[in-house]
């Protein structure tokens, strides 16, 4: 592969001159030399801007001066027109590139089997504070298309193949402030690869007017973002409305169910009773009753109870009173094997979708079953997980993380917490989800061969998730489908060592590298704690006089 060429595009309008100088200097300092820098001055009113541009003359830098101010989209389009590189690098006028930024992109391209197939590369970034310190690193997952619909989790640094950007129409007028999100969505719709460099290659300036300083700074940008997401959904054939989400820059996608979906809820049960919120309940009855009482329920639901032999007859009788003909009972007389109970339940069901549900649950969010159906109706989505809360309202399940450990993301955090970089407030891809509340299409369940009976108690959902992903389908978690899960927080499942051996034997690589986590985060944890030295703490500097300072 010959070395790629880069066109760095920067639209300039009245930045703080020193910030612009830092930006230009960071391009000049690139360790990889095959670049050109197209700077479009969008009619800046500050004469100092012109002086800075004059002071940073370089044969590889071209300055285009617009006659009138046209906004970020017009200026970026002018820059794109002037670009000649194979890839374009989007760089704001006050942001700073790491010296190795382009070199790392080249290395990333070289490491792929088919660099010519790559449409988009992005990296991690951090914030450049007013005092010049870098802080708040944002360590991102590998490409996560569902999440990108929900919010622009990528933001910076973005490198796009020029040909691909041209093919999707470049920067679109009328989307000022969300033009980058729009570009990411449209380029990602193409069939090419999207790569992630898990390293901070850009420092995003936290200027007072920037979105990086306050998300309330650009309300118009979020309206434009909604439009960009809405049009993206239309292009990819998803029937949905886009509404503002609970946070600026987060969008709530309300899909419509296609056709008349039928859902079979598979609930293995021993008819256990327990005390929750001061009252004793038969868990499975409350699980069923809460779904039946859902005012937003619009899909056909039937329930398959897989009942352990020897369970109290009142369990089936109560379920029958609640469900009538919509109940199917499977007697399970064998030694306990969760996977087998699920497989037998699915075999006895008739729904187009199967919802695997633990009996110790209770519906929280109305319309949860529909939310999961809507996601499962996407052909490339194989498994959908839900948000689960412990009885005390803390988070039990926010998706799995396989990071030299197998656990739930951010377990024990406040149930309404948006999570680092809003990850608990958005629909997003995960490596896996728990089978305590998970939905998949029957054809997917059959294709992957159901749940592995080699894993009778633990990790069967991990195995199911990884087998679904191995078919090329995505596993998606949604915060908009939510159940209480009355699993004891302190209860440690008895783990048969053979189950751990089995899951590690089958999925060793997948369990040590989670594409939706980040190698900069500490191994063995699932709470987004960074490795030492990567949390944004100031770097070490020793002055010539021997004093140590933290920059």
Binding residues for other proteins, per CB under 8 A? Answer: 107, 110-111, 199, 277-279, 390-395, 412-415, 417, 509-510, 513, 527-530, 532-533, 535, 537, 540, 542, 548, 550
- Provide, rounded to whole angstroms, the least separation between the CB of residue 490 and other proteins: 11
Do 52 and 21 form a contact (C-beta atoms < 8 A)? yes
Neighbours of 498 (CB within 10 A): 12
- Provide, rounded to whole angstroms, the least separation between the CB of residue 361 and other proteins: 16
- Provide, rounded to whole angstroms, the least separation between the CB of residue 1 and other proteins: 12
Residue 406 or 438: the one with the smaller Cβ distance to other proteins is 406
CA 376 to each of CA 180, 241, 355, 382, 443: distance values in angstroms, whole numbers, following the listed order: 28, 17, 11, 7, 11
Residues in the chain: 551
- Provide, rounded to whole angstroms, the least separation between the CB of residue 397 and other proteins: 14
Q: What is the DSSP string of 200-221?
A: EEEEEE--TTSTTT-GGG-HHH
CA 139 to each of CA 124, 125, 127, 267: distance values in angstroms, whole numbers, following the listed order: 5, 7, 12, 38
Residue 307 or 410: the one with the smaller Cβ distance to other proteins is 410
- Provide, rounded to whole angstroms, the least separation between the CB of residue 420 and other proteins: 9
Residue 54 or 113: the one with the smaller Cβ distance to other proteins is 113
d(CA 267, CA 358): 6
Neighbours of 329 (CB within 10 A): 15
Angle of helix 283-292 relative to helix 313-323, nearest 10 degrees, comes to 0
Residue 21 or 97: the one with the smaller Cβ distance to other proteins is 97
Do 305 and 330 form a contact (C-beta atoms < 8 A)? yes
Residue 451 or 475: the one with the smaller Cβ distance to other proteins is 475
Residues contacting 393, CB < 8 A, separation 6+: 414, 415, 416
- Provide, rounded to whole angstroms, the least separation between the CB of residue 245 and other proteins: 21
Q: Running DSSP on this structure, what letter comes out for residue 396?
A: E
d(CA 428, CA 245): 14
- Provide, rounded to whole angstroms, the least separation between the CB of residue 548 and other proteins: 5
- Provide, rounded to whole angstroms, the least separation between the CB of residue 533 and other proteins: 5
Residue 81 or 541: the one with the smaller Cβ distance to other proteins is 541
Kind and range of the H or E run holding 235:
helix 219-235
The three-state secondary structure class of 384 is: strand
Residue 56 or 125: the one with the smaller Cβ distance to other proteins is 125
Residue 298 or 520: the one with the smaller Cβ distance to other proteins is 520
- Provide, rounded to whole angstroms, the least separation between the CB of residue 288 and other proteins: 19
Residue 135 or 330: the one with the smaller Cβ distance to other proteins is 135
Cis peptide before 157 (omega within 30 of 0): yes
**Residue tagged 């992630």 (tokens):** 196
d(CA 245, CA 233): 16
């Amino acid at each position: 592969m010959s070395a790629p060429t880069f066109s760095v595009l920067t639209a300039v309008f009245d930045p703080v001159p020193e910030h612009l100088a830092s930006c230009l200097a960071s391009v000049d300092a690139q360790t990889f030399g095959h670049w050109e820098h197209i700077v479009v001055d969008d009619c800046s009113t500050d004469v100092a801007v012109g002086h800075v541009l004059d002071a940073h003359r370089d044969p590889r830098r071209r300055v285009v001066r617009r006659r009138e101010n046209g906004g970020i989209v017009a200026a970026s389009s002018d820059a794109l027109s002037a670009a000649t590189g194979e890839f374009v690098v989007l760089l704001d006028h006050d942001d700073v590139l790491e010296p190795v930024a382009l070199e790392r992109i080249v290395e990333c391209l070289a490491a792929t089997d088919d660099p010519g197939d790559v449409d988009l590369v992005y990296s991690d970034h951090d914030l450049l504070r007013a005092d010049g310190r870098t802080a708040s690193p944002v360590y991102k997952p590998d490409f996560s298309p569902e999440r990108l619909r929900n919010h622009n989790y990528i933001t910076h640094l973005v490198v796009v193949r020029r040909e691909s950007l041209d093919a999707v129409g470049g920067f679109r007028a009328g989307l000022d402030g969300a033009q980058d999100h729009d570009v990411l969505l449209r380029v990602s719709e193409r069939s090419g690869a999207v790569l992630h460099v898990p390293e901070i290659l850009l420092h995003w300036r936290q200027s007072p007017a920037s979105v990086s300083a306050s998300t309330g700074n650009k309300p118009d940008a979020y309206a434009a973002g909604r439009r960009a997401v809405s049009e993206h959904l239309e292009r990819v054939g998803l029937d949905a409305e886009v509404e503002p989400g609970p946070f600026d820059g987060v969008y709530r996608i309300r899909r419509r169910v296609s056709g008349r979906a039928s859902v079979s809820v598979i609930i293995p049960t021993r008819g256990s009773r327990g005390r929750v919120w001061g009252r004793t309940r038969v868990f499975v009855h409350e699980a069923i009753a809460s779904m039946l009482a859902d005012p937003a329920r619009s899909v056909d639901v039937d329930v398959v109870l897989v009942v352990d032999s020897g369970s109290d007859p009142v369990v089936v009788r109560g379920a029958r009173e609640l469900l009538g003909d919509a109940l199917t009972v499977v007697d399970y007389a064998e030694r306990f094997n969760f996977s087998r109970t699920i497989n037998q339940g699915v075999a006895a069901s008739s729904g187009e979708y199967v919802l695997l549900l633990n009996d110790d649950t209770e519906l929280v969010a109305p319309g949860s079953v529909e939310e999961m159906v809507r996601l499962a109706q996407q052909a490339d989505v194989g498994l959908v997980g839900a948000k689960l809360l412990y009885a005390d309202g803390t988070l039990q399940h926010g998706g799995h993380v396989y990071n030299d450990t197998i656990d739930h993301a951010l377990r024990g955090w406040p149930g309404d917490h948006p999570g680092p970089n809003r990850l608990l407030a958005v629909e997003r891809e995960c490596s896996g989800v728990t089978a305590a509340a998970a939905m998949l299409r029957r054809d997917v369940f059959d294709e992957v061969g159901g749940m592995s009976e080699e894993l009778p108690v633990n990790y069967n959902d991990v195995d199911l998730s990884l087998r679904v992903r191995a078919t090329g389908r995505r596993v998606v978690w949604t915060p908009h489908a939510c159940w209480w899960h009355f699993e004891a927080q302190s209860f440690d499942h008895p783990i048969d060592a053979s189950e751990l051996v089995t899951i590690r034997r089958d999925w060793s690589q997948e369990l040590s590298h989670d594409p939706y986590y980040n190698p900069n985060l500490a191994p063995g944890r699932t709470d987004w704690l960074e490795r030492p030295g990567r949390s944004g703490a100031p770097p070490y500097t020793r002055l010539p006089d021997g004093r140590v300072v933290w920059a």
